[in-house]
A = this chain, B = another copy of it.
Amino acid sequence: MNSTETVLKMIFDRWDGSIKNCDAILSSLSDEQLQKEIAPGKNRGIYLLGHLIAVHDDMLTLLDMGNKLYPELRKHFIDCPDKAVAEIPSAKELRAYWSKQCEVLKQKFESLQPGQWLEKHTAVSAEDFAREPHRNKLNIIITRTSHLQYHVGQLVLLK
């Protein structure tokens, strides 16, 4: 195992571990629990689930891995705060989206060769990337793992 492969293992172990942890929390919560606020006056569990799906959907575009699965979620779960939109998908629907998306991301991630993870993501120009090589695909995994953990720490409060 060379050092690039070692680093990829470390970073994807953390992504996979966070997804697994989130899955376990979601499985332990009923749809009714997901409707509750994580703390008084704060976001509801269902909003956080929708938000995670919308943010992970953006990863597909950033990583140049095809179209988003649920492009309609952005306006509800990224552009708007919780409770700003009357109609959002049900907990049951969001759970199904989440599972499907995790599977798709996993397959797409596995299709990349190690060296490709250090190539630029789609939101940086070739010119900027020449000066800032850290703005690569792997960094999208690092920053979104961090984002996921932040919200997992909140979802767990519903238990």
* A contacts, CB < 8 Å to B: 1, 3-4, 6-7, 9-11, 13-14, 17-18, 38-40, 42, 118, 133-134, 136, 138-139, 142-143, 145-147, 149-154, 157
Contacts and interface: CB of A to CB of B under 8 A. Distances in A.
A139 B39 contact: no
8 contacts: A1-B133, A6-B118, A6-B133, A7-B138, A10-B138, A10-B139, A39-B39, A152-B153
Contact of A39 (B18, B142, B151, B157): B157
B42 A143 contact: no
Nearest to A154: B153
A151 to B, nearest CB: 6
Contact of A10 (B142, B151, B157): B142
Nearest to A147: B149
A62 to B, nearest CB: 15
A18 B6 CA distance: 23
Given A149-B149, A149-B150, A149-B153, A3 B6 contact: no
